Amino acid sequence: MSDLVINVEHVDKVYKLYDSNRARVADTLGLSRKKNYKEHYALKDMSFTVKKGECVGLIGTNGSGKSTILKIITGVLSPTAGEVTVNGRISALLELGAGFNQEYTGMENIYLNGTMLGYSKEEIDEKLDDILSFADIGDFVFQPVKTYSSGMFVRLAFAVAINIDPEILIVDEALSVGDVFFQAKCYKKFEEFKAAGKTILFVSHDLGAISKYCDKAVLINKGDKVAEGTPKDMIDIYKKILVGQEPALTSKVDMADGFADDSAKAAPVDEGTSWKSNYQLNPNVNEYGDGRASIVDFAIIDDNGNYTNAIMKGSTFTVKSKVHFNTDIENPIFTLTFKTLKGIDVTGTNTMYEKCDVGLCKEGSEYVATFTQKMDMQGGEYLMSISCTGFDGVDFVAYHRLYDVMNLTVVSTKNTVGFYDMNSMVSVEQVK
């Protein structure tokens, strides 16, 4: 079809997972006579099409394969099997920092990116005023980008991506780090692109944006395309997947998406198994403490009683942490914190703030702290930290801390300004 600009046909992406570096080297050099690795599918038999002028959203939990398929479409990754055909010049904003040299100034990076996309210096010169006006970062454009805040960086990156006159624009969740006014400007540009007959493919956990701007949505879960259709229909199915009402799909791990989520499909709570075994945990968790107490288990549970790290905004959810005490401790403090992927604290609480005195915990005993609350954080990705702390006389002591132990995906149909939604009741009436 002449109006077909992206055609994804039966694409697989398989990663080999080795038990050791020695096994990896042996396999690479062809020295191993047997299969000494496990295969994990980031994508399996993925097929969909995008037509000219369409705005298509990819939705699914973290680790489902969204970023992987975008990287294959843009040529960053090669598929293990299948074929992707692209007809048109692509401009992609996949990851914060991708395609930018941190040591170069913003101005130097504009020319670097333009050159990589096939533009001459003269052509970039013609577009420079539009890029600088859209980015609106002032004299910082003459400073090394390593000094930029994440918001400034995405302003410049998006300004370059959207003002070089691409036929296809691909964006992977990057707008989530911009402020709400910049996001509004970007979405206005989306509408201008659509009106000009250009194509947009983007990933977002903001289901409100998917519903408002997309002509269709493709729902992906653990490497499988579940369905494609109208944004409303896909969002409805997505919500069912989040609460475990869809048949379980074959388990896969998206190694290219960074912090892989092998627990996005909600699992019913089974008190006979380890809670944390239901999640893909951060292998680089920051763990420390003096050892007088140990966090032995933890979980995030949705309002349907399922283990999951994907929570619908507006719903009630629970975080549980189980602590084993290796010595007598008076009034330990159980804590819970959520922060952005950039390390900014969003919210948190503890048993001391909540005036929940635990009393004396004897050596060998185990206690479970349960935090239940409404999810009012904006849609997006967060990291969860838990700890058991306390006071030894007047000295503050960390018995055991697990910083950034696992990720949390908040799925939203309406995002507002900042990290938190005030849940305002709004009315407007004519008075004159």
**pTM value?**
0.64
Query: b or e along 100-110 (b: 16 or more beta carbons within 10 Å of the residue's beta carbon)?
Result: beeeebbbbbb
pLDDT at 179: 64
Are 50 and 67 spatial neighbours (Cβ–Cβ below 8 Å)?
no
pLDDT (0 to 100) of residue 160: 86
Q: Please, what are the averages of pLDDT over each run of 10 residues along the chain (432 residues)?
A: 86 86 75 76 94 92 87 91 92 70 90 82 90 89 88 84 84 67 77 86 83 90 92 85 54 33 46 83 92 97 88 93 97 96 89 95 97 93 95 94 92 84 91 92
Task: Classify 267-411 by CATH class.
Answer: mainly beta
pLDDT of res. 256: 33
**The three-state (H, E, C) secondary structure of the chain, written as one string:** CCCEEEEEEEEEEEEEEECCHHHHHHHHCCCCCCCCEEEEEEEEEEEEEEECCCEEEEECCCCCCHHHHHHHHCCCCCCCEEEEEECCCEEEECCCCCCCCCCCEHHHHHHHHHHHCCCCHHHHHHHHHHHHHHHCCHHHHHCEHHHCCHHHHHHHHHHHHHHCCCCEEEEECHHHHCCHHHHHHHHHHHHHHHHCCCEEEEECCEHHHHHHHCCEEEEEECCEEEEEECHHHHHHHHHHHHCCCCCCCCCCCCHHHCCCCCCCCCEECCCCCCCHHHCCCCCCCEEECCCCEEEEEEEEECCCCEECCEEECCCEEEEEEEEEECCCEECCEEEEEEEECCCCEEEEEECCCCCCCCCEECCCCEEEEEEEEECCECCEEEEEEEEEEEEECCEEEEEEEEEEEEEEEEEECCCCCCCECCCCCCCCCCCC
**How confident is the model at residue 342, as a pLDDT?**
74
Give the residue among 343, 320, 313, 347 at the shortest CA–CA distance from 404. 343
Assign a CATH topology to domain 4-88+167-242. Rossmann fold (3.40.50)
All CATH 3.40.50.300 domain ranges in the chain, comma separated: 4-88+167-242
Q: So what's the pLDDT on residue 102?
A: 85
In one letter, which amino acid is 412? S
CA 152 from centre of chain: 20
Query: Where are the domain boundaries for CATH 2.70.50.60 in the chain?
Result: 267-411
d(CA 306, CA 316): 12
Per-residue pLDDT at 333: 97
Taking each helix axis as running N to C, give the angle between helix 150-163 and helix 180-195, from 0 to 180 degrees, rounded to the nearest 10.
Answer: 10
Q: Could you tell me which of 227, 213, 207 has the C-alpha nearest to residue 47?
A: 227
* Six-digit token string for 123: 């052509």
Return the pLDDT at 243. 61
Among 166, 238, 176, which Cα is nearest to 198's? 166
What pLDDT was estimated at residue 191? Answer: 82
pLDDT score recorded for residue 59: 92
| Torsion on CA atoms 322, 327, 331, 334, rounded to nearest 10 | -30
